[in-house]
Structures are given as structure tokens and as C-alpha cells.
Amino acid sequence: MSMTNIETVSVPSVGKLALADKPGTFTPSGKKREHKPGRLPEDGGFTESGTPARLELNLNLTPGVDVVALGAIVNEDVTVRLSDGSVHLMARAFATDAVGVADGDAKLTLISNTSEKM
């Protein structure tokens, strides 16, 4: 049985990214819940806050890949296709840091406030 993994990532300004053998991690946007104690155990509850979608990628720096353009990604609708066939759209995603170069590899982190399963 094969495990689900990131298959492809597309960014409008850059195109399809050249993912490394171990492409990284994708976490869809969601909710974070924290316990809120009450006077009695049954009086307790929880508070809820939103968590952004996060995509941490390992890239192969093939010829023509512009690391400056990768680090400049802002307000782009990024498409993440998983190997199980599901597709997620990260709306208005942005790169968190400049992208460095090391041994033909690069790391890119994209965040969006919301993601949607298509």
C-alpha cells in the first residue's frame, strides 16, 4: 500500500516546482482547540482559533529555477496535488523567507490563511 505524499505543486508566477525525492510536508488550514477548565470538570470547554495552511518543500534546483522569484511569492493561489488524487488550493499564499541554495537543493515554505480541498 502506498502512502499519500505531495505529487506536484504549482505556483502561477513560477509554474510547476521541481520537487525533491522527499518533497516535504503539507498541512491544510484548520482549527486549533485548547482546553478551557471550569470550576467543575463538566463546566470545562474549549477555545478555538484558526490555523493557516503550511507547505514546507524540498526542491531540486534544476537549471532555470529562480530562487529570488521563489522567495518573492506573495498573494498567489498555489495548487497542491497529492498522490491520492486530492487537490488543495492555498489562497493568497506567500513565501516566509528568502530561498537559499545548498548542494543543488533549496527549501521553500509557503503559508496561506486558508486552504480549500477542491
Q: Spell out, as residue ranges, where the chain has pLDDT lower than 50.
A: none
Pairing of strands 53-60, 105-112: antiparallel
The pLDDT value recorded for residue 41 is: 87
| Among the listed residues 18, 19, 25, the one whose alpha carbon sits nearest the alpha carbon of residue 4 | 25
Q: Are 100 and 109 in contact (CB under 8 A)?
A: no
Buried b (16+ CB within 10 A) or exposed e, 87-105: ebbbeebbbeeebeeeeee
**CATH domain 6-117 topology:** Elongation Factor Tu (Ef-tu); domain 3 (2.40.30)
The pLDDT value recorded for residue 19 is: 95
Q: Where are the domains of the chain?
A: 6-117
